[in-house]
Amino acid sequence: MSTAMTADSFTRLTRRQLAWCAAQAIPDGSYVNLGIGVPTLCANVMPADREIVLHSENGVLGFGPAPAAGAEDCDLINASKEYITMRPGGAFFMHTDAFVMIRGGHIDLALLGAFEVSGTGDLANWTTGDRRFPPGVGGAMDLAVGAKAIWVLTEHTTKKGEPKIVDTCKYPLTAAGVVRKIFTDLAEIDVSPDGLVVRAMVEGLTQEALQAMTQPPIRLADDCRVMAAPAG
């Protein structure tokens, strides 16, 4: 496994493919919050054979994919302020009640974006600490402490190629030790008590190459799969 890796030996997933991979992993019947960023894309790629109820902190439960062009409704948006549609069984409610659901432990799973995730599941996704720009926390801290499980969906590295999965978050934390699973454009990784376990990787990626882009030590699951998604 010491063969030299070339930059084009593997292909990163698109944001939509990353969302698709995460969406396929959601248990049937779950109540799931989709956070700002890549997570909100999941609504467009949910598995057709499962009934999963999507929650948005702006007072929506049971929403569906983005509307067709021309069918947008200004009063019907998700946490990322993108247009959505409603599924039968959906409901609207006020913000306070949306956070009763979140803080009160009623959400089975929240998918969140991240600036950084640590090997022990610390999450940093609300501020880079750059005082020139206003920080924005939104519902991230509420979800991080309230949802029964937290998965992170993010690019594996920053635009500069630096790892986003780190030993210690250098950005201010959203919450400590809350992330259970990480989906990136390269791999699906469990945050286990014994460290990071790679459940799947994109075709052509090696453990060494992935480790080079990941600060904490990783190990491959015995049944590590190829991570793939429909084109698009």
Partner 1 sequence: MPIDKIVPTLEAAVAGIGDGMTIMISGFGFAGVPNDLIEAVLKLGAKDLTVISNNAGTGTEGLAALMGSGRVRRIICSYPRSKGSDKFDARYAAGEIELELVPQGTLSERMRAAAAGIGAFYCPTGVGTELAAGKEVRTIEGRDYVLEMPLRADVALVQAQKADRWGNLTYSKSARNFGPVMAMAADLTIVQAKEIVPLDAMDPETIMTQSIFVDRVVHVDNDREWDI
Catalytic annotation, residues: 57
Q: Does 70 bind partner 1 (CB under 8 A)?
A: no
Site string for partner 1, 136-175 (x = CB under 8 A): xxxxxxx--xx-------------------------xxxx
Residue 222: alpha-carbon gap to chain centroid: 24
Q: Does 66 bind partner 1 (CB under 8 A)?
A: no
Copy the structure tokens of residue 74: 């200004």
Q: Mark residue 99 as left, alpha or beta (left: phi above 0; alpha: psi -120 to 50; beta: remaining).
A: alpha
Quick one: which segment of 26-34, 160-168, 187-195, 222-230 binds partner 1 (CB under 8 A)?
26-34
User: Position of tokens 């890549």?
Assistant: 38
Q: Which of 70, 69, 23, 40 shows the shortest CA–CA distance to 138?
A: 40
- Least CB distance from residue 187 to partner 1, whole Å? 28
Alpha carbons 199 and 137: distance in angstroms, whole number: 30
- Least CB distance from residue 131 to partner 1, whole Å? 9
- Least CB distance from residue 49 to partner 1, whole Å? 8
Q: Could you tell me the sign of the dihedral formed by the alpha carbons of 212, 125, 74, 147, in that order?
A: positive
Footprint on this chain of partner 1 (rule: CB under 8 A): 28-29, 31, 49-51, 53, 55-62, 73-77, 81, 86, 88-107, 127, 132-142, 145-146, 172-176
